[in-house]
Amino acid sequence: MSQKKKKLVPVNFREIERRLELAHEAIERIWAPSAEETQRVLQVRTLALAQEPLWEEAANEDLEVLEFTLAYERYAIESHFVRQVASLENLTPLPCTPAFVLGIANLRGAIYPVIDLRKFFELPEKGLTSFNKIIVLQSEKILFSILADTVIGVRHILKKNIQPSLPTLTGVRRSYLAGITPERLIVLDAEKLLMDESINVQDQVDE
């Protein structure tokens, strides 16, 4: 038997191209987001763009502090808690108070308890001199002063540079530290100091 020749069917490329275009349009319709979805995506993108400057601003936010020395170390405390700085004068011992309460000081007619953080933090003590200063701290109605060996001045530090306290900073003072900077400036938590009932002797002074 003689093999029959197969009949060649011409390829219609235009038809194939048309079908591919229809398939592509169908796929686009399937994946195209609805108007509601498009609006939601735009809102998310807008919110993300708005947050970026805030994150950058927070990272670069600085903290104004008063820097002072205490037992050969450099300390700082947020300046908005500082009411005034004065020389240590007219110090009167206050009986029946803890050892870290040096006494009371009269500043222009106002009486302030003077707290020696060196004794409270169990740090090496230096004798009192004419160079000693007192830093009056205030938060709402709580008011007292702390002793400083010297006051260096006001400065700004970046919040992102304040790291958790070092393991070497142990003892009582560790509980009152906000952190430490790379240059070993110890930042105190002023609010925690002011709220500590064991330090606040204002009621005893007022009596």
- How far apart are alpha carbons 77 and 97 in whole angstroms? 25
- How far apart are alpha carbons 63 and 79 in whole angstroms? 9
**108 and 198 inside one domain:** yes
Domain count, the chain: 2
**53 and 127 inside one domain:** no
**163 and 97 inside one domain:** yes
Angle at CA of residue 69, ends 203 and 76, nearest 5°: 70
> Among 152, 157, 161, 165, which residue's Cα sits nearest to residue 192?
165
- How far apart are alpha carbons 95 and 72 in whole angstroms? 29
**73 and 51 inside one domain:** no
Q: What pLDDT does residue 48 have? A: 63
**157 and 93 inside one domain:** yes
What CATH number has the domain bearing residue 197? 2.40.50.180
Q: What pLDDT does residue 134 have? A: 93
**167 and 180 inside one domain:** yes
Q: What pLDDT does residue 205 have? A: 47
- How far apart are alpha carbons 72 and 76 in whole angstroms? 13
Q: What pLDDT does residue 80 have? A: 93
Give, for all 207 residues of the chain, the pLDDT tens digit.
Answer: 555 555 555 556 566 666 667 666 665 555 555 666 666 666 666 666 665 554 455 556 889 999 999 888 899 999 999 999 999 888 898 888 888 999 999 888 888 899 998 888 888 776 666 678 999 999 888 888 999 999 999 999 998 989 886 666 666 667 788 889 999 999 999 988 888 877 766 544 454
How many Cβ atoms from other residues are within 10 Å of residue 175's Cβ?
A: 12
Query: End of a domain among 25, 59, 93?
Result: 59
Total residues belonging to the chain:
207
Q: What pLDDT does residue 85 have? A: 94
Q: Is residue 85 part of a domain?
A: yes
Q: What pLDDT does residue 6 have? A: 53
The HSE-up count of residue 24 (CA atoms within 13 Å, CB side) is: 6
- Could you list the residue range(s) of the whole structural domain that residue 176 is in? 62-206
